Amino acid sequence: MQISLKAPSTLSRQKSACLVLPLTVEDLKALPGDATLNAAIERLVKRGDFSGKGAQTLMLPWCDALSAERVLLVGLGEADSVDAKSYDKAATAAFNALKTHKLSDAAVLINSRVLSSEAQISALARLAETGNYQYTASLSKKAEPGLKKLILLAAGNAAAKKALAQGQAIGQGINVARQLGNLPGNYCTPSFLAKEAKALGRKSDKLKVTVLDEKKMRELGMGSLLSVSAGSDEPAKLIVMEYQGGKKSAKPQVLVGKGITFDSGGISIKPGAKMDEMKYDMCGAASVMGAMNAVTALELSINVVGIIAASENLPSGRATKPGDVVTSMSGQTIEVLNTDAEGRLVLCDALTYSERFKPAAVIDIATLTGACVVALGRHASGLYSNDDTFAEKLLAAGERSGDRAWHMPLWDEYQSQLDSNFADIANIGGPEAGSVTAACFLSRFTKNLTWAHLDIAGTAWLSAPKGATGRPVGLLMQYLLDCAD
């Protein structure tokens, strides 16, 4: 999408298929348009058709004396109550209205009463991109025409241009994550993810992409990861994306994504109901891909490494069985009590592998446990960390981006649930605190790291309407932008 900045002038002269006016309740007492437009809005307000309440929209099919073909009124609510979340909601309503009317271009006025211009510009650019997303990869019909051109009526200074670039890149990164998540499992395999990573690497001379095959992983001792792919004909891949945007000596931020492209549960097979949604079990990997797309697009002045542990989890005569003991790259042995607790098995080897980059910090992202959905629902990702200061940075990034997380406990008292008589550690800790014990399992492999774990099982996709959300790309990118400042 073409998104540009244009200094606001007389609104009546702004040519566009639709002029979008986000208005607070206070604006209705001192309207920003010309006399003809103001008179029309005043009549609508008096008649009760528009009140300025949050996310309210009203399309005017024409307005005399305006160069724009239409005017879309968008309510922001009381000026003092407008925050990033309510502004996003209003902007989303505006873009939905534009989509309903099948408009290809629009101009949006930045409202001086709320937030900062930069915050509004970034939000509008991000939401314009995500609002344009349509899934058609496995459909016979083509995508419906969407918004192609967006003008943001604001001064085009350096800060505004930076906000525009960031918002658009994050929106595109979210869409990358959504698209990968939505692809069916027979389209999006570990090999497909590796191909997508290599394609991204060809777009940037700052990005080096390496793909480790099963032979190399076996040589490295990744018995835990390989135990998950044992039952599938699709070979596992460890995908490593090294972005060098900062000084060579600067320690990188490392993102590790769980990439189970389909999870049947293995021998501990899942119930059939909603098993189709297990194509979303690679949304952690998808979020890493989305973030790396945005990082390269913005050419951030930091070093970032993205690692994706990609595998299928299927039953066969070669599949890992409950009770089997496998040896991880770290040398720790693991009793696999349940083959459906496979995400932690691929992540632990990927986390051990991440140590070779001497990272400043490591974040793993995974659709890890149904227990996290029970605990937090669809609103917040579960956040676990071995460093409270690091956790606070991620929580703050989640608040600023609107992609929120909640700090969960990682207490030593839970570790005993992972005791095993036959290995150093069991891969499940029983029915109590399932999300916590999963994080405790991963913590056994991160003792040399500043580490955080994001359990996105509740936030990565929705069941109704079904589709990937692209979370937590927003949180990850806000954190990385903070690191680059």
Q: What is the pLDDT of residues 298-322, one digit of tens each?
A: 999 999 999 999 999 999 999 999 9
d(CA 372, CA 455): 7
Asked if the peptide bond before residue 472 counts as cis, ω within 30 degrees of 0, the response is yes
H or E stretch covering 288: helix 283-298
Structure tokens at 123: 């939000």
Find the distance separating the first CA and the last CA of the chain, reported in whole Å.
27
Q: CA 471, 349, 383, 254 torsion: positive or negative?
A: negative
pLDDT for the residue numbered 344: 98
Beta strand 303-313 with 253-263 is: parallel
Rounded to whole angstroms, what are the CA distances from 175 to 145, 209, 461, 470? 17, 21, 13, 6
Which residues are 308's β-sheet partners? Answer: 239, 257
H or E stretch covering 424: none
Instruction: Write out the chain's pLDDT in tens, 485 residues.
Output: 999 999 887 788 889 999 999 999 999 988 877 788 889 999 999 999 999 999 999 999 988 878 999 999 999 999 999 999 999 999 999 999 999 999 999 999 999 999 999 999 999 999 999 999 999 999 998 888 899 999 999 988 999 999 999 999 999 999 999 999 999 999 999 999 999 999 999 999 999 999 999 999 999 999 999 999 999 999 999 999 999 999 999 999 999 999 999 999 999 999 999 999 999 999 999 999 999 999 999 999 999 999 999 999 999 999 999 999 999 999 999 999 999 999 999 999 999 999 999 999 999 999 999 999 999 999 999 999 999 999 999 999 999 999 999 999 999 999 999 999 999 999 999 999 999 999 999 999 999 999 999 999 999 999 999 999 999 999 999 999 999 98
pLDDT for the residue numbered 64: 81
Q: Is 162 a catalytic residue?
A: no
List the catalytic residue out of 70, 237, 258, 344. Answer: 344
Reference 189, options 234, 219, 149, 247; nearest CA is: 234
- The angle formed by the CA atoms of residues 256, 261 and 267, to the nearest 5 degrees, is 110
- β-sheet with 425-426: strand ranges across: 324-327, 333-336, 425-426
CB 171 within 8 A of CB 125: yes
d(CA 346, CA 156): 46
Asked if the peptide bond before residue 465 counts as cis, ω within 30 degrees of 0, the response is yes
pLDDT for the residue numbered 36: 85
CB 16 within 8 A of CB 107: yes
List the catalytic residue out of 161, 195, 198, 270. Answer: 270
Q: CA 149, 154, 156, 161 torsion: positive or negative?
A: negative
pLDDT for the residue numbered 398: 98
Give me Rg for the CA atoms of the chain: 24
pLDDT for the residue numbered 256: 98
pLDDT for the residue numbered 342: 98
Rounded to whole angstroms, what are the CA distances from 299 to 195, 203, 294? 22, 12, 8
pLDDT for the residue numbered 1: 93
CB proximity list for 301: less than 8 A, separation 6 or greater? 245, 246, 484
Beta strand 451-455 with 381-385 is: antiparallel
pLDDT in tens, 139-195: 998 888 899 999 999 988 999 999 999 999 999 999 999 999 999 999 999 999 999
pLDDT for the residue numbered 31: 84
Q: Is 270 a catalytic residue?
A: yes
Quick one: 144 exposed, middle or buried, by C-beta within 10 A (0-12, 13-18, 19+)? exposed
